[in-house]
Amino acid sequence: MLSSYFKGPNDLIKVIVSRNLPATIDRIIRDQGNLVPQQICYQIDHNLYLSITDRCTLECAFCPKTLGDMTVKGYDLTFDHRPTSDEIIEAIDDPSQYNEVVFCGYGEPTMRLNILLEVARNIKARGGRVRVNTDGLSNLVHKHDTLIELGECVDAISISLNAQNQEVYDRHCRPNLPGSYEAMLAFLREAPKHIAEVTATAVEGLEGVDIQACEAIARESGVKFRRRTLDEVG
Ligand code: SF4
């Protein structure tokens, strides 16, 4: 590990930096002398979060990234590069010291499915618990049933349901791929066959989003439901 920087108001967040020294130096220079190395991992309370990509299948209107803000709890998740599996594994250190290691950042982790699976298997082999926060579109993107592979190394999955119908979903999530809402629903319904703990989520307070209706979809799909607060990581 190159170093750790503690910056901002929340001492509970531990920033573990990239070991890619040239990219890190480049980033420091670009940030005009402020030490803001790329954060692969960041700790909030007793969970460790992994930021493995900046790419998304959606372009959510409510997302800070869409609005040009790459910070979480005051910490910058801007990418210098997409980290390798070795970099991510090295940055995690001991996964068993956390309640969960969560794939979650300003990007859809299943866009890098092979990297996600390799890192998740490593975390499991070292006694950690794995959760993936996803848009539920990996089957649509990768054109095969990714739940089979995910089920082998993922303990829990949180799927962004976000809306009770396609019209509201498209308005807020602005998917790039046609058929995204239906594909996400199919993924949600299939997920419990492969993954022990499945939770659908929706963001409270977005115009037209009926939280009760979203909860009913989750119940009918045999999964848990959690209402999310805008801008809250987890
Ligand atoms: S999927 Fe997540 S990271 Fe991507 S645009 Fe939507 S809210 Fe932002």
Which tops the pLDDT comparison, 17 or 168?
Answer: 168
Q: How far apart are CA 165 and CA 200, in angstroms?
A: 14
Choose which residue among 50, 52, 62, 66 to substitute to test ligand 1 binding: the one with the highest number of ligand atoms within 8 A of its C-beta. 66
Compute, in angstroms, the gap from residue 110 CA to the centroid of ligand 1: 12
Q: Give the pLDDT of residue 186.
A: 98
For a ligand 1 pocket test, name from 54, 135, 162 the mutation site with the most ligand atoms within 8 angstroms of its C-beta. Answer: 135
Q: Say how far apart CA 19 and CA 126 lie, in whole Å.
A: 21
Q: Which token pair is 187? A: 């993924």
CA–CA dist 35, 158 (Å, integer): 33
Q: Considering the entire predicted model, what is its pTM? A: 0.85
Q: Is the pLDDT of residue 14 over 80?
A: no
Which CATH number does the domain 4-228 belong to among 1.10.10.10, 3.30.70.1020, 3.20.20.70, 3.40.50.620?
Answer: 3.20.20.70
For residues 50-72, average pLDDT: 93
Residue 37, judged by CB atoms within 10 A of its CB (0-12, 13-18, 19+), counts as buried
Domains of the chain, by residue range, sit at: 4-228
User: Per-residue pLDDT for 21 more than 60?
Assistant: no
Tell me how far apart the alpha carbons of residues 13 and 231 are, in angstroms, rounded to a whole number. Answer: 16
Averaged over 38-56, what is the pLDDT? Answer: 94
Cβ pair 79, 30 in contact under 8 A = no
Model confidence pLDDT, tens digit, residues 166-190 = 999 999 999 999 999 999 999 999 9
